[in-house]
């Protein structure tokens, strides 16, 4: 076998076919890398590999066209048949020689992300997986090429047939769509011939084992059929009789059936058993929180996706597939808006966008707008003519499809959705969009309310937010809040630093729950508990139910609370409480010439017992706690603690919160000079050098 391999390998590089393949391939790969990676800044090889896929369909027949066709034309195949080497060894040797010509392409492919890494962050796992998937696709394509080469003695016919078969396999998905959008038995059979379809999962960052089993199966069957074709030439029914022909026919049937059975069997396994999500943000899978919630689902949920087959969002489609696989109670149906344009009217008066979803259970329904499934960040610039800031650009910064769908499922199956009223009218802090999204995804219904317009806070409210008012509330507002809390309701209070008068009424409300707000801003004396300046606090996290998500004994996770007020907690007969964030004893508050020493409470949970039940309150002592940038500085710990506070106040299970999955890989920026030099090397010097070496060897052999 190795003698055959060596002969074939040398043959590929003693003529122009191997060198021409490498030169053409490297040129187009370099060109697309220049366009997608260096010019447009896309840090994913998937764009490049998807683009060069059809180039490979044209060039790979150059490698395999001479495998057996040339042997047959020169009648040297008879020497192979009479050699002591077995037929399968001949076939495998020639196939490995073809693969070895293909291999030099991959070190260059793997160099691309290393080049991009110089100029920005690159998702290595996804890029390496894309290269691995492309290698398996190439192996399968070369196997088919070897098989086709054994059918003819003309190299050009072998090349054209190989190109036609590979092109047809790439068009299977489009042909199936024309036959049936929903799929039928014919399209299912055609999918067996789809050689490029299994490559998609690798492009999307999912290691899907059935795809690789499929490619290996194509190689095995191609080489096996090639051996049988050669055996039919070497032997005949006339010399070996009908029993020999029947045995070989049975062998072909059994091997084919066994390979099909293996593929069917592995595809029947649960999705999580046969796949590994290698995307950096887990975008092709769902979180453990969602799996747990789906496992506990006991009501039927119907999801209608308003989209036709051509416009499906692949990421959202994958999320819905994972949700269905984790619960037998969830069913997904696709409704084509062109065929049923008024379907939405049974659930909403406003026509949803394409790819939007309607989640239904019993008489309750919720529309999940497609645009809400993606988090978008905007860039602004001051426009003198407009007299204000205008949007200059935007980019998708996160995927929230899982969170939105799970939130809708919780809404339609729950008899009661926790209601939050966010008090405004006193220049309160406005939560940013990411925090609002997390609250909604956790299954809460949040609404802003101005107490001036209401006689009382509505009874359907479960929790109120008072987020760092700058102006004090009046006596009437205070009375309305107190009446609400006396009903056994819950509240989340945040104090903020104010340069003017103290908020006497607001602080008296905190006093109802055993808290005394100290004037001034807390400074920390211990450098291990502040960041840069003494007022940028990194408080001690006290282990407990509220801090379970962020507490570590080694202090490897932090809560960030710049410009905090200090609070003293004083328990009474009807109020009990506990501190879960605090300063060290060396902390102090300085007002004028007076100084109050720590420790101070910065995060407090209190309960007050009354005739109508227990009122629960969580208090934080700075509005900076909820700033997006502050939260990002501690890798999201602030928001995690905040969400735990909501779960405590509403007595909701912890699995309710599904965070947005961030797209943290920004476009890479390559300066024009470097882009020009790298492009010249990859599209000119490298493929040109390969072609010149091949021409030199070819010319030398012709002269000698």
Does the pLDDT of residue 4 top 50, yes or no?
A: yes
Cα angle: 276, vertex 279, 281; to 5 degrees: 120
CA distance 403 to 391: 27
CA distances from 627 to 434, 602, 658 (A): 10, 16, 19
CA distances from 369 to 18, 305, 356, 373, 474 (A): 52, 10, 5, 7, 39
Matching residue, tokens 């405004």: 424
> 625-657 as b/e, with b when 16 or more CB fall inside 10 Å?
bbbeebbebbebbbbbbbbbbbbbbbebeebbb
Cα angle: 630, vertex 438, 366; to 5 degrees: 160
CB 207 within 8 A of CB 126: no
Does the pLDDT of residue 596 top 50, yes or no?
A: yes
Handedness of CA 175, 176, 179, 185 (dihedral sign): positive
Instruction: Kindly state the average pLDDT of the residues 250-270.
Output: 89
The reported pTM is 0.66
Share of residues in the chain with pLDDT > 90 (%): 37
Instruction: Kindly state the average pLDDT of the residues 304-325.
Output: 90
- pLDDT at residue 83 in the model: 65
Handedness of CA 72, 75, 78, 81 (dihedral sign): negative
- pLDDT at residue 570 in the model: 87
Domain 281-415 part of CATH 3.40.30.10 = yes
CA distance 19 to 690: 6
What average pLDDT is seen over the chain?
A: 85
Find the range with the poorest average confidence among 34-43, 258-267, 297-306, 661-670.
Answer: 661-670
- The predicted-structure confidence for 686-699, as pLDDT tens digits, reads as follows 999 988 988 888 78
Instruction: Give me the half-sphere count of Cα atoms (radius 13 Å) on the Cβ side of residue 602.
Output: 35
- The predicted-structure confidence for 218-252, as pLDDT tens digits, reads as follows 999 999 998 888 777 666 544 555 666 677 788 88
Structure tokens at 190: 């055609």
- pLDDT at residue 289 in the model: 82
Parse the chain into domains and list their residue ranges: 2-277+676-703, 281-415, 416-662
- The predicted-structure confidence for 395-449, as pLDDT tens digits, reads as follows 777 888 998 899 889 888 888 888 999 999 999 998 888 888 888 877 788 999 9
Which is higher by pLDDT, 75 or 555?
555
Helix axes 237-267, 209-234, angle to 10 degrees: 180
Q: Smallest Cα–Cα separation from 68: which of 226, 264, 213?
A: 226
- pLDDT at residue 378 in the model: 63
Find the range with the poorest average confidence among 226-235, 347-356, 443-452, 568-577.
Answer: 226-235
Does the pLDDT of residue 377 top 90, yes or no?
A: no
Does the pLDDT of residue 269 top 60, yes or no?
A: yes
CATH number of 416-662: 3.40.50.880
Handedness of CA 173, 175, 180, 181 (dihedral sign): positive
Does the pLDDT of residue 501 top 70, yes or no?
A: no
Which is higher by pLDDT, 334 or 88?
334
CA distance 197 to 191: 8
Q: Which strand (E) or helix (H) includes residue 100?
A: helix 87-102
Does the pLDDT of residue 389 top 60, yes or no?
A: no
Q: Smallest Cα–Cα separation from 643: which of 476, 445, 454, 438?
A: 438
CA distance 541 to 539: 6
Query: Tell me, what DSSP letter sits at residue 385?
Result: T
Share of residues in the chain with pLDDT > 70 (%): 89
> 373-389 as b/e, with b when 16 or more CB fall inside 10 Å?
bbbeeeeeeeeeeeeee
- pLDDT at residue 629 in the model: 86
CA distances from 427 to 484, 510, 598 (A): 21, 18, 30
Which is higher by pLDDT, 500 or 496?
496
- The predicted-structure confidence for 70-90, as pLDDT tens digits, reads as follows 666 656 655 565 666 777 788
- pLDDT at residue 506 in the model: 94
Does the pLDDT of residue 561 top 90, yes or no?
A: yes
Does the pLDDT of residue 188 top 70, yes or no?
A: no
From the CB of residue 41, how many other CB atoms can be counted at a distance below 10 Å?
A: 15
């Amino acid at each position: 076998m190795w003698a055959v391999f060596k002969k074939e390998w040398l043959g590929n590089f003693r003529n122009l076919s191997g060198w021409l393949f490498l030169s053409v391939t490297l040129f187009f790969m370099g060109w697309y890398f220049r366009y997608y990676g260096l010019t447009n800044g896309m840090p994913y090889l998937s764009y490049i590999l998807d683009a060069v896929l059809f180039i490979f369909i044209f060039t790979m027949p150059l490698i395999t066209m001479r495998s057996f066709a040339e042997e047959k034309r020169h009648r040297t195949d008879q020497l192979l048949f009479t050699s002591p080497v077995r037929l399968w060894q001949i076939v495998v040797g020639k196939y490995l020689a073809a693969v070895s010509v293909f291999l030099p392409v991959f070190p260059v492919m793997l160099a691309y992300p290393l080049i991009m890494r110089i100029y920005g962050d690159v998702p290595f796992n996804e890029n390496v997986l894309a290269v691995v998937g492309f290698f398996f696709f190439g192996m399968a394509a070369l196997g088919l090429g070897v098989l086709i080469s054994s059918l003819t003695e003309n190299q050009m016919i072998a090349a054209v047939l190989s190109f036609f078969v590979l092109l047809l396999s790439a068009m299977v998905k489009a042909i199936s769509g024309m036959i049936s959008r929903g799929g039928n038995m014919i399209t299912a059979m055609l999918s067996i011939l789809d050689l490029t379809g299994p490559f998609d999962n690798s492009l999307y960052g999912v290691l899907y084992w059935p795809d690789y089993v499929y490619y290996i199966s194509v190689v095995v069957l191609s080489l096996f059929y090639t051996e049988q074709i050669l055996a039919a030439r070497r032997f005949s029914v006339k010399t070996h009789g009908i029993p020999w022909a029947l045995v070989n026919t049975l062998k072909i049937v059994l091997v084919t059936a066994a390979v099909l059975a293996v593929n069917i069997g592995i595809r029947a396994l649960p999705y999580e058993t046969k796949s590994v999500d290698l995307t950096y943000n887990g975008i092709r899978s769902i979180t453990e929180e969602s799996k747990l919630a789906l496992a506990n689902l006991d009501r039927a949920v119907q999801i209608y996706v308003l989209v036709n087959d051509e416009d499906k969002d692949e990421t959202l489609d994958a999320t819905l597939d994972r949700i269905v696989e984790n619960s037998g109670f969830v069913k997904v149906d696709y409704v084509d808006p062109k065929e049923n344009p008024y379907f939405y009217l049974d659930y909403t008066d406003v026509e949803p966008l394409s790819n939007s979803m309607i989640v239904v259970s019993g008489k309750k329904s919720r529309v999940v707008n497609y645009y809400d499934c993606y988090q978008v960040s905007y860039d602004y610039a001051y426009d003198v003519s407009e007299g204000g800031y205008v949007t200059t650009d935007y980019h998708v910064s996160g995927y929230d499809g899982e969170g939105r769908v799970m939130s809708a499922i919780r809404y339609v199956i729950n008899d009661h959705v926790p209601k939050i009223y966010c008090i405004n009218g006193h220049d309160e802090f406005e939560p940013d969009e990411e925090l609002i999204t997390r609250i909604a995804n956790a299954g809460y219904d949040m609404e802003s309310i101005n107490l001036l317009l209401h006689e009382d806070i509505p009874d359907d409210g479960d929790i109120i937010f008072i987020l760092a008012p700058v102006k004090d509330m009046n006596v009437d507002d205070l009375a309305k809040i107190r009446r609400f809390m006396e009903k056994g309701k819950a509240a989340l209070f945040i104090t903020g630093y104010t340069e003017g008068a103290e908020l006497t009424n607001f602080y008296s409300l905190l006093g109802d729950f055993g808290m005394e707000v100290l004037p001034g801003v807390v400074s920390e004396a211990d450098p291990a508990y502040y960041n840069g300046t003494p007022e940028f606090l990194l408080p001690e996290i006290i282990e407990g139910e509220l801090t379970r998500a962020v507490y570590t004994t080694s202090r490897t996770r932090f809560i960030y609370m710049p410009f905090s007020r200090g609070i003293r907690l004083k328990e009474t007969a009807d109020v009990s409480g506990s501190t879960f964030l605090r300063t060290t004893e060396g902390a102090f508050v300085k007002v004028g010439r007076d100084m109050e020493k720590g420790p101070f409470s910065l995060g407090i949970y209190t309960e007050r017992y009354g005739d109508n039940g227990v009122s629960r309150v969580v208090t934080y002592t700075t509005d900076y706690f909820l700033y997006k940038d502050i939260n990002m500085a501690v890798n999201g710990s602030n928001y995690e603690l905040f969400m735990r506070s909501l779960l405590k106040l509403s007595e909701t299970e912890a699995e309710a919160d599904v965070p947005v999955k961030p797209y943290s890989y920004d476009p890479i920026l390559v300066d024009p000079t470097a882009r020009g030099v790298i492009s010249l090397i990859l599209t000119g010097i490298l493929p040109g050098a390969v072609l010149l070496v091949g021409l030199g060897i070819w010319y030398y052999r012709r002269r000698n």
